[in-house]
Amino acid sequence: MISKSSLKEIILENKEYIVKYVEPPVKREILASLPSVDKVIVLHGVRRSGKTYMLYDVFKGSSDTSLYIDFEDERLSEFEVTDFEVLREAFFELNPELLGGQNVLFLFDEIHKVEGWERFARRILEKEGIGVYVAGSSTRIHPENIGTSLRGRSMAFQVSPFSLGEFLKAKGLNDEIDSLLYGRKRILVSRYFEEYLRWGGFPEVVFVDPEIEKKRLLREYMNAMYFRDLVERFGIKNFALFDALWDMLFSSFSRKFSVNSFENSYRNQFPFSKDSLYAYYRYFIESRLVFEVRKYAESSYKRFRTPVKIYIVDNGLVKRVTSQDMGRLLENLVFAKLIRSGEEVYYFEGKRECDFCAVDENGLRSVLQVSYELNEENEKREIEGIVEACKRHGLRKGTILTADREDSLKYESIEIVIEPVWRWLLRETEV
């Protein structure tokens, strides 16, 4: 049992710190799109993607009516679900004028450290009308892992590293989207995009300048993800298998991957069971560090019988690539945007291939091909891939995304728009 006086100290310390010392964070697109509903808002995502600063942002907007608690605070290491009521009492004793009032918010960071938190969140939401925001790691508070007591009473949002629009705001470009797309600053946008393409959008990485510091931070992130999000979380035992799979996945981004092929390649290098291999692979997918995209097919049987394409949550985490592989980084960025927008994504494979088929509730919505540049060697192949995908699924228009080319053409009655990825990312922004 944690004393009420200790909880009051923590409440007041947190308020003072956020209000006085936390700089106004970059406004995240997710916050701008959150609905006004009577549900617990769940923010989940990979570590260091900005969940805490999103809670800070919400708190700063209503600091006089809000409570913020971070369960990483060592003083709360013994906090149990029964202590929530003591915490509630401490808050209202500090703010008696808010008791029974409107617009009170409780913001809980790293909430997964308190088992059974869902019951308390539901009670104060339904009985007292207190708004609740919670944040934590993808594996711990993903909707699939939230207790049944909160099913139907929560809305989950995956927090990713910065989008390109957020990245530009972090760099001081707060102009309207049209100005960035077509105004004088478009040259600056193009230059910043090269940095974003290479280093990704983890907020802390964006705000440091020397490349050596960016590399150091990303190594720290990878180590923490390796040990805390995977090894400790899932109880990894076969490190030879785990390390080989880790290396393969993080170097196979934007490429096809087959668990069976991996097994055939490594079966004679060290001992492992097929069950362990498939379990470890599932852990990577559950962590939301690695994503798989399946072939677009009418039957689920066909989808699951073909290799998947692998993508990584952020370009900063991929294995370093040569200049010849910049197209893979470009493709990984496009995937990250599609996922951030809530798209259901597949790849197309017929006589030719097309990188992305974006699907909504009405079926196939759009097809996208990604190529760093179009030249004599690849232009015909890339165009024929997107044309075949369009014809197969009754679409009359497709998009090819490149590093810098902007054009339009018709090929076998299909309209093809060619545009730079950075323009597409900004035009598709949710802000």
Q: Which CATH number goes with the domain that contains 84? A: 3.40.50.300
Give the 3-state secondary structure of 292-339: EEEECCCCHHHHHCCCEEEEECCHHHCCCCCHHHHHHHHHHHHHHHHH
Measured distance CA(228)–CA(363) in Å, rounded: 38
Q: Are residues 76 and 195 in the same domain?
A: no
Residue 390 · residue 360 · CB < 8 Å? no
Q: Are residues 197 and 298 in the same domain?
A: yes
Residue that terminates a domain, selected from 125, 159, 193: 159
List C-alpha distances in Å: 368 to 177, 206, 336, 372, 427.
22, 28, 13, 13, 15
Q: Are residues 125 and 202 in the same domain?
A: no
Residue that terminates a domain, selected from 159, 178, 195: 159
Q: Are residues 250 and 388 in the same domain?
A: yes
List C-alpha distances in Å: 260 to 245, 303, 307.
12, 15, 9
Q: Are residues 155 and 171 in the same domain?
A: no
**Domain count of the chain?**
2
Measured distance CA(151)–CA(203) in Å, rounded: 31
Q: Are residues 186 and 154 in the same domain?
A: no
Q: Are residues 233 and 94 in the same domain?
A: no
**Domain, as residue range, for 417:** 165-427
List C-alpha distances in Å: 390 to 255, 351, 363, 378, 384.
22, 13, 13, 19, 10
At 255, the amino acid letter reads R
Q: Are residues 197 and 147 in the same domain?
A: no
Q: Are residues 152 and 193 in the same domain?
A: no
Coil, strand or helix at 322: coil
Phi, psi of 371 (to 5 degrees): -145, 125
Q: Are residues 311 and 268 in the same domain?
A: yes
- From first to last of its 431 residues, the chain has per-residue pLDDT tens of 799 999 999 999 999 999 999 999 999 999 987 877 789 999 999 999 999 999 999 999 999 999 999 999 999 999 999 999 999 999 999 999 999 888 999 999 999 999 999 999 999 999 999 999 999 876 667 666 676 667 788 888 999 999 999 999 999 998 888 788 877 888 889 889 999 999 999 999 999 989 999 999 999 999 999 999 999 999 999 999 999 999 999 999 999 999 999 999 999 999 999 999 999 999 999 999 999 999 997 666 666 778 999 999 999 999 765 656 899 999 999 999 998 888 899 999 999 999 999 987 777 789 999 999 999 999 999 999 999 999 998 999 999 999 999 999 999 999 999 999 999 999 865 43
CA–CA–CA angle 223, 146, 359 (5° rounding): 80
Q: Are residues 275 and 374 in the same domain?
A: yes
Residue that terminates a domain, selected from 132, 159, 186: 159
CA–CA–CA angle 318, 323, 326 (5° rounding): 55
Q: Are residues 182 and 305 in the same domain?
A: yes
